[in-house]
Amino acid sequence: MLNTLLFTAFLFLFLTPFFLYIYKTLLILTGFNAKNLCSQLFIARREFHAIVRHDFTSFFSKLTKNTFRPSDLSVTSGLFFLIKSKAYFHQGLGAILRLPSSKPYISKPKPLLPQKSEYRDTCRQNFSNLHTLFAPKLHTKAVMVIHRGQNIYERYGPGIGPDTPLLGWSMTKSWVNALVGILEYEGRLSLDDSHLAPEWAKDQRKHLTVRHLLQMNSGLDWSEEYHRYSDVTNMLYLQHDMFGYALSSTLSEPIGKKWRYSSGTTNLLCGILKSYFATEKEYLRFPYESFASALNMKHFFLETDRRKTFVGSSYGWASLRDWTNFAQLYLQNGRWNGKPLFSDYWVNFSLQPSYGSLGTYGAHFWLNKKSSSAGKSIPNIPEDCFIAQGFQGQRIFIVPSLELIALRFGTTPSQSFDNQDFLERIINSINI
């Protein structure tokens, strides 16, 4: 009897962590579906069945049962009758997992008086070699090419159009670069600001600066794996307070001595930025009034977590033309309609390789620079190319030497999207 009890106890202790890991992993899957479906419905205004058909392409996503309740603006995603996640839409905040709907906290501000785009929507050109990007298996939603300020190619997939907000995933991180840059230009923030959080006051984390966080040189421990249970999936789909979760990360490396890509670091920045505003309402309005309105981004939306902290790592929405305006801002060294949004050196700073990144990463932008130990990440493309890059093949390529901007949105598995092939097709088509 005693041996049986001991064996049972041992088996329980041994298997519990395994089953808990499986449970959390499946909860992340249903959380991903519920959150994404809710956002697509209420931000992008897409049709329910079209979202499920075109966006939920993985094997496990197809196993989930998804239901939409207009009465409380909620979406539920379930798996095997046991695991369910529910997301509610909140006006001005976005889709939030497991938070009962309440009165809107803040309405989405309307853009200020429209301004002209920085490119002319007049010159159109058919690129037959780009049309294959819209093959059904690639799930491409939209592509645009701007050359020398002219819109020379613009095409959309089924159910997507010029007014459809598109999710940038980690391209949103580059928006955070812009938000920090605006505050720096206004004199409200310095790259070398330290002592960023009271929770870090008694340990070495107090020495972390805004510069360290922008360049992903914080030394904080973090796992960035999207297809299993990890820090990033835990934060996005199992945590109400994403800033608080990232804030609890401990140092695993000396500050400034190692590069580690981390969505948690971006959300740390988003939470820390709150301390630079007098009120929460001012913080929530800042991206709309000082960034999106300045660029005439009419369909801009930046979601928050339950604690009303922007999820700058992942949840930025804008139309294809809005995203293009953002790219054009950086091609023009931070100026729009002749007026600067950033300090003169900001874009150059943003494109300096982070320590330890081997020339692949700057301040929340991907780079294409050579290093002493590695070649360019996109070999046949100019070295001055820099990129905003997101999950499932979201891309913005900016190539100053060619006066070229190229954008692509879709739900293609990241490993199936070829950056070099995409850019080479464009460059060969316009003979530059």
Identify the burial level of 371 via C-beta atoms within 10 angstroms of its C-beta, where 0-12 means exposed, 13-18 middle and 19 or more buried. middle
pLDDT in tens, 302-340: 999 999 999 999 999 999 999 999 999 999 999 999 999
Instruction: Return d(Cα 423, Cα 338) in angstroms, integer.
Output: 29
- The pTM for the full model equals 0.90
Does 118 or 364 have the greater pLDDT score? Answer: 364
- Torsion on CA atoms 47, 52, 56, 57, rounded to nearest 10: -110
Provide the pLDDT for residue 90.
Answer: 94
Residue 103, pLDDT > 90, answer no
pLDDT in tens, 236-287: 999 999 999 999 999 999 999 999 999 999 999 999 999 999 999 999 999 9
If one counts every other C-beta atom within 10 angstroms of the C-beta of residue 44, the result is 21
Instruction: Return d(Cα 325, Cα 292) in angstroms, integer.
Output: 10
pLDDT tier for residue 113 given thresholds of 50, 70 and 90: very low
Residue 181, pLDDT > 70, answer yes
Instruction: Return d(Cα 283, Cα 188) in angstroms, integer.
Output: 13
Provide the pLDDT for residue 114.
Answer: 37
pLDDT tier for residue 125 given thresholds of 50, 70 and 90: low
Strand blocks (E) in 238-329:
301-302, 316-318
Give one DSSP letter per residue of 383-425, joined into a string: TT-EEEEEGGGEEEEEEGGGTEEEEEEE---GGG--HHHHHHH
pLDDT tier for residue 211 given thresholds of 50, 70 and 90: very high
Residue 187, pLDDT > 80, answer yes
Residue 363, pLDDT > 90, answer yes
What's the rounded mean pLDDT across residues 61-82?
Answer: 88
Separation in Å, CA 386 to CA 234, 256, 347, 410, 418 = 29, 22, 11, 20, 15
**Would you state the structure tokens that stand for residue 404, as one six-digit string?**
């070229």
Provide the pLDDT for residue 378.
Answer: 92
Provide the pLDDT for residue 7.
Answer: 47
